[in-house]
């Protein structure tokens, strides 16, 4: 906002807006509605100084208060029952009092980058809450069970958290943002909870897929109908005791909508990729990452994807040969990977050969990274490359095409 517009807005708001600039400016009007604190050395006074401001609706603290008191006073929420917006991100608050449940009008709560360890069950009483941000709250292990009562919640941001999903999250049918969903074994924590969350958009990371009982659960999740999702990450745990066939059935049932732009698959235990990756239906994909899919023996025909720009394959022990199907599929007319700009082949200890590329394939490929592929001896002529990164490979054994690089 331009300074002139900011000053005009402040002059119009009068006593309804309050901004603390220094320790000497604690004369807070009782009818203030919006408060932001920008400079204060007496941190202990921040919360108690607003006890008379019963009309306060917006309370903002900037990130500079890392050393602020670790507790919010119990009566802070009892006094300020009209709060709509509360931003306590980037401070060292460890917990919230149960009295937060009295802020019935609260619509926006940001606790991101705090040291908070638990949230009170009274959170479930905030029926008007629309946004709950808990990004990078690394000490927070779980959400309260009452989270499923937040019937008007639209955005639940959990990036950077190692957190279990509360039961019956599927009740929150207004959710648009759900960045992380951890599949649990307990009742109401299964992947079928995603069934009625038809408004999901943006990014979702579904982890602990080893806890899925069978593919029918995944079909109920109905990812194929979630047309507003742009980025999907599917992750299995490292200690997956189940058979290869079960993982293949699960991934087959997790087919996303064709609008998807970014797909990442982590620690998948199957030998082959699902049919929906073979068909070329996901034509809007621009980024694909296949990480630690150790058992996979063949790559899907990703070369058919017209808008794919970035492809990363890391940790595929079962792959020995990259063949023509990967680049062009069965289509001999359309060139493979027409938009691909960056390609990484990393940690492929048994990869011996990459062949099958035709003249004109990968016309936009500028960056190729090959690392820890000790058995790789041959790969195709790729004249568009201007950035080649090679590491932990036995390059002396390689067959180099005579005109591999641009003249």
pLDDT digits (tens, 9 = 90+) for 21-43: 544 445 555 567 666 665 555 44
Cα separation, 113 vs 128, in Å, equals 23
Instruction: Give the highest mean pLDDT range of 44-48, 92-96, 203-207, 241-245.
Output: 203-207
Whether residue 315 has pLDDT greater than 70: yes
Look over the chain and give the mean of its residue pLDDT values, rounded to a whole number.
83
- Residue 375 falls in which region: left (phi positive, over 0), alpha (psi -120 to 50) or beta: alpha
Poorest-confidence range of 30-44, 247-261, 336-350, 357-371?
30-44
Cα separation, 122 vs 174, in Å, equals 20
- What pLDDT is attached to residue 325? 83
Q: What predicted TM-score, i.e. pTM, was given to this entire model?
A: 0.85
**Strand intervals (E) in 56-95:** 58-60, 85-87
pLDDT digits (tens, 9 = 90+) for 58-67: 777 766 555 5
Span 127-131, average pLDDT: 96
Confidence of residue 330 (pLDDT cuts 50, 70, 90): low
Whether residue 74 has pLDDT greater than 80: no
- Cα→Cα distances 330→258, 303, 388, Å: 21, 10, 29
Q: Which residue has the tokens 């941001």?
A: 157
Which strand (E) or helix (H) includes residue 78?
Answer: helix 75-79
Strand partners of residue 240: none
Poorest-confidence range of 9-13, 71-75, 341-345, 393-397?
9-13
Confidence of residue 133 (pLDDT cuts 50, 70, 90): very high
Span 148-153, average pLDDT: 95
Confidence of residue 348 (pLDDT cuts 50, 70, 90): very high
- What pLDDT is attached to residue 109? 95
Whether residue 152 has pLDDT greater than 60: yes
- As a whole number of Å, the CA-based R_g of the chain is 26
3-class state of residue 181 by DSSP? strand
Q: Apex CA 228: angle with CA 198 and CA 143, to 5°?
A: 55
Cα separation, 142 vs 88, in Å, equals 19
3-class state of residue 232 by DSSP? strand
CB 34 within 8 A of CB 17: yes
pLDDT digits (tens, 9 = 90+) for 80-113: 778 899 888 888 788 888 989 988 999 999 999 9
Q: 237: which 2 tokens?
A: 């745990």
- What pLDDT is attached to residue 23? 41
Cα separation, 183 vs 192, in Å, equals 9
- What pLDDT is attached to residue 66? 52
Cα separation, 86 vs 114, in Å, equals 14
Poorest-confidence range of 175-184, 187-196, 230-239, 390-399?
390-399
């Amino acid at each position: 906002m331009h300074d002139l517009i900011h000053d005009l807005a402040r002059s119009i708001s009068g006593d309804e807006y309050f901004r603390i600039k220094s320790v000497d400016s604690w004369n807070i009007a009782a009818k203030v509605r919006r408060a932001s604190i920008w400079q204060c050395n007496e941190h202990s006074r921040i919360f108690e100084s607003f006890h008379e401001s019963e009309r306060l609706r917006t309370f903002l603290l900037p990130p500079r208060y890392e050393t602020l008191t670790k507790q919010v006073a119990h009566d802070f929420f009892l006094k300020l029952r009209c709060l709509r917006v509360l931003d306590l991100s980037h401070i060292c608050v460890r917990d919230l009092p149960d009295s937060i449940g009295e802020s019935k009008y609260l619509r926006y709560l940001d606790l991101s980058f705090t040291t908070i360890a638990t949230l009170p069950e009274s959170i479930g009483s905030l029926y008007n809450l629309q946004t709950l941000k808990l990004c990078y709250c690394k000490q927070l292990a779980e959400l309260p069970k009452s989270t499923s009562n937040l019937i008007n919640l639209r955005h639940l941001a959990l990036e950077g958290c190692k957190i279990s999903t509360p039961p019956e999250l599927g009740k929150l049918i207004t959710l648009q943002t759900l960045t992380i969903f951890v599949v649990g074994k307990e009742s109401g924590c299964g992947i079928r909870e995603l069934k009625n969350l038809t408004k999901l958009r943006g990014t979702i990371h579904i982890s602990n897929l080893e806890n899925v009982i069978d593919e029918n659960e995944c079909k109920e999740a109905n990812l194929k109908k979630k047309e507003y999702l742009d980025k999907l990450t599917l992750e299995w745990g490292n200690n997956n005791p189940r058979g290869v066939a079960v993982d293949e059935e699960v991934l087959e049932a997790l087919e996303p909508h064709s609008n998807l732009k970014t797909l990442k698959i982590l620690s998948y235990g199957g030998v082959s990729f699902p049919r929906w990756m073979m068909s070329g239906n996901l034509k809007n994909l621009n980024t694909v990452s296949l990480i630690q899919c150790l058992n996979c023996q063949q790559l899907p025909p990703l070369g058919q994807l017209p808008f794919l720009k970035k492809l990363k394959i890391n940790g595929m022990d079962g792959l020995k040969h990259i063949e023509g199907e990967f680049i062009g599929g069965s289509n001999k007319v359309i060139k493979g990977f027409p938009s691909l700009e960056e390609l990484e082949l990393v940690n492929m200890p048994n990869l011996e050969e990459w062949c099958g590329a035709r003249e004109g394939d990968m016309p936009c490929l500028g960056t190729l990274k090959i690392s820890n592929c000790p058995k790789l001896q041959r790969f195709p002529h790729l004249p568009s490359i201007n950035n080649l990164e090679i590491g932990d490979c036995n390059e002396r054994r390689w067959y180099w095409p005579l005109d591999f690089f641009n003249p």
